[in-house]
Structure 1
Amino acid sequence: MSDDSQRPIVVKKIKKGGHGHHGGAWKIAYADFVTAMMAFFLLMWLLGSSTKGDLRGIAEYFQNPLKVALSGGSGAGESQSVLQGGGMDLSKKAGEQRRGDGGKEKKRLDELKEKIKQAIDGKLAQYKDQILLDITPEGLRVQIIDQQNRPMFKSGSAQMEGYAGEILKEIATILNEVPNRLSLSGHTDAAGFSTGDNSYSNWELSADRANASRRQLLTGGMASTKILRVVGLADSVPFDVVNPANPVNRRISIIVLNKEAEENIMKLAGKAAGDAEAVSDPASAIQAGVAAATEPAAAPATP
């Protein structure tokens, strides 16, 4: 029998913590990676969902943050601005409508179109085939066209027929209900004068007819300040491209301008700072290059 007192005493030291510490640097690296990926996808989402105006506003903010800081103060910033509380909304550049404002303006033009339609179906029913309505990038366009047996003006002259004056007077009262400004353009067919373009030509005739329409609108009660542009385009923008001699090419076009189109015209006329931007369609580009129409002169007889 062994003596237990002679056995050696063994002290066992237990180290808690499993397999020991291997370092936590990988956790930090992984957290950095996840954060970077979140930032990347957030950036992609912002770039994809922002308008051009917003992106330019953001770029301008980072290029000149002092400009935004100095514009701050009570009520600074807009509720829809990408620069909340940062002064004026730099993303709202002249000529670019914010979605909210553009929606209200479109609704107003649609309602105006419906009112003119009602007038056409009512008082102007007999001239229904000669009045065309459509929405263009510049705004609501009202075109009054000639028919073979019922022209708006006497041949080769800016003297308006009575029925055309009635149409314009009726339209004037409706157009006066909206704050939008107007652009008037006169158009002719391709039939020229015997004297050629060196004397009185379709250019002068179309401008004189546009001006005669302007005066008739004023007679109908329209405020003179609503007219922004009056131009003559001769036969350069035909309604019927295939048949330039078609009577429908002789027409008066009235455009109820949206805000963007109005600002573009003002820019092209030198009334706003900054470089002029392209207008919304080729017809407008032609209109912008035509000189302002003068008062009508006596026209020689057509051939």
Structure 2
Amino acid sequence: MAKSTQPIIIKKVKKAGHAHHGGAWKIAYADFVTAMMAFFLLMWLISMTTQEQKDGLAEYFAPTSALSSGTSGSGGILMGTALDKSGNKTSAPRDSARDTTGQEDKTRPTNSGGASDREANRRAASAQANYSAIASLRQALQNMPEIADLSRNIVIEQTKDGVNVSLVDDNGRSMFPEGSVQPYERTRLLLEAIAPTLRRLPNQLTISGHTAAARPGSVQAVDSWGLTAGRALAVREILSGAGLPNDRFTSVVGRSDTEPLFLDNPYIPPNRRVTVTLLNAEPPLPPGAFP
């Protein structure tokens, strides 16, 4: 039998590898994960920040023109009002002042535009003095790192009456032992830290003590009126011992639970506080000007 001369062909199929897709998707995914982590961290920080701190930060980053028409000297770190109940407020012209000005303009033969300008200038000068006072107080606190952990317990805000410096209880940290009128040593250090600044400022001072309302069904162990009055007196004694003259104090009172910091929840710890108010100081009038 003759052998076949037809050649045998063997076909080998080589499998090609998948094309390289590059690493761009990895970078995009990493950026996405980082952004999500930053977002959740931001949400956590917002939930842990009090309303007064949020408003203080917002006011700090606001344009300077939103604070005052001139240079207030309050451009330091964390300026604005921070560390409050429903938010830090800037003082606005009181209606009574406008009404009084209007009555005077009707009865006094003078230029109404000039009187209005003088009143506006006086209000602007008072607001600027308050911003400078806030800046001085915050600087005094920043110079004492040993009380940095009390930042959540200090509320400095401008109000229609002046500048409030409040020592506020926080969850897990109180400024006074429960039921006691004598403060903790850290509270004493804080008051002694701001005393030199208060002594240099011209403002008269008032001190008021406040406490949280008792929850329905609970029984108060001590009289809230006596407790808040005693704490206000203790603060006055510390400031007086640190060099403030007695004639700088115009009133020292206890308010009990009649003026909660949080109107919608008068039972929480931040309603327990002692507030030192630097009353608005009227700037001196130029010679010949009407009061």
- What TM-score, normalized to structure 2? 0.55
CA positional deviation for 1:57: 2.2
SS in 1 for 2:208: strand
Equivalence map 1:219-298=2 (5 Å): 219-259=241-281
Match of 2:193 among 170, 192, 201: 170
RMSD in angstroms over aligned alpha carbons? Answer: 2.8
Match of 2:228 among 206, 209, 219: 206
Match of 1:113 among 119, 134, 137: 134
Q: Following the alignment from structure 2 to structure 1, what is the Cα–Cα distance between the partners of residues 120 and 193?
A: 32
CA positional deviation for 1:259: 4.0
Where in structure 1 are there 5+ consecutive unaligned residues? 1-50, 63-80, 84-88, 261-303
Q: Following the alignment from structure 1 to structure 2, what is the Cα–Cα distance between the partners of residues 52 and 140?
A: 24
State the one-letter code of the partner of 1:100.
N
Q: Following the alignment from structure 1 to structure 2, what is the Cα–Cα distance between the partners of residues 230 and 151?
A: 21
CA positional deviation for 1:52: 4.0
Match of 2:108 among 42, 57, 61: 61
SS in 2 for 1:176: helix
Match of 2:122 among 101, 104, 118: 101
Counterpart of 1:151 in structure 2 is 174
Q: Following the alignment from structure 1 to structure 2, what is the Cα–Cα distance between the partners of residues 254 and 159?
A: 16
Q: Following the alignment from structure 2 to structure 1, what is the Cα–Cα distance between the partners of residues 123 and 256?
A: 32
Counterpart of 1:16 in structure 2 is none
Counterpart of 1:191 in structure 2 is 214
SS in 1 for 2:108: helix
CA positional deviation for 1:188: 0.9
CA positional deviation for 1:173: 1.1
SS in 1 for 2:156: strand
Counterpart of 1:66 in structure 2 is none
Equivalence map 1:63-142=2 (5 Å): 82=111, 98-123=119-144, 124-142=147-165
Q: Following the alignment from structure 1 to structure 2, what is the Cα–Cα distance between the partners of residues 99 and 133?
A: 25
Q: Is the 8 A contact 1:54 1:82 kept in 2?
A: no
Q: Following the alignment from structure 2 to structure 1, what is the Cα–Cα distance between the partners of residues 256 and 100?
A: 37
Q: Following the alignment from structure 2 to structure 1, what is the Cα–Cα distance between the partners of residues 175 and 155?
A: 14
Q: Is the 8 A contact 2:141 2:193 kept in 1?
A: no
- What TM-score, normalized to structure 1? 0.53
Q: Following the alignment from structure 1 to structure 2, what is the Cα–Cα distance between the partners of residues 122 and 195?
A: 39
Distance 1:242 1:60, change over 3 A: closer
Distance 1:57 1:104, change over 3 A: same
Q: Following the alignment from structure 1 to structure 2, what is the Cα–Cα distance between the partners of residues 103 and 159?
A: 39
Q: Does 1:215 align with 2:233?
A: no
Task: Choose 1 or 2 for highest CA Rg.
Answer: 1
How many residues are treated as equivalent by the alignment? Answer: 180
What are the superposed Cα offsets for residues 186-214 of structure 1, whole Å, 9 maximum, x if unpaired?
A: 01112389578xxx610111111111111
